[in-house]
């Protein structure tokens, strides 16, 4: 499985339907019905939150 990182923009997330959410101590992953994921995670080296999106390909 290959993961592609993309710049997260609010316009690309509008209208998507959330199908699942996972929350851990260091990350939140939101799964949409189109198999796109939004990851919000703690970058411990920079001590900041980062975001990325990826899509699973069949």
Number of folded domains in the chain?
1
Q: Is residue 5 part of a domain?
A: no
The pLDDT score that the predictor gives to residue 5 is: 52
How far from chain centre, in Å, is Cα 10? Answer: 12
Q: Is residue 27 part of a domain?
A: yes
- 3-14 mean pLDDT: 68
Q: What range defines the domain where residue 21 resides? A: 10-55
pLDDT tens figures, 25-38 = 999 999 999 988 99
User: Residue 32: which residues within 8 A CB-CB, separation 6 or more?
Assistant: 16, 17, 18, 19, 38
Looking at the chain, the whole-number percentage of residues with pLDDT higher than 70 is 84
Q: Is residue 25 part of a domain?
A: yes
Q: Is residue 4 part of a domain?
A: no
Q: Is residue 28 part of a domain?
A: yes
Q: Is residue 20 part of a domain?
A: yes
Q: Is pLDDT of 6 > 60?
A: no
């Amino acid at each position: 499985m290959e993961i592609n990182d993309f710049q997260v923009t609010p316009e690309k997330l509008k209208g998507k339907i959330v199908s699942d959410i996972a929350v851990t101590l260091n990350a939140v992953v939101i799964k949409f019905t189109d198999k796109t994921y939004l990851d919000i995670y703690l970058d411990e080296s920079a001590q900041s939150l980062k975001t990325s999106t990826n899509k699973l390909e069949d």
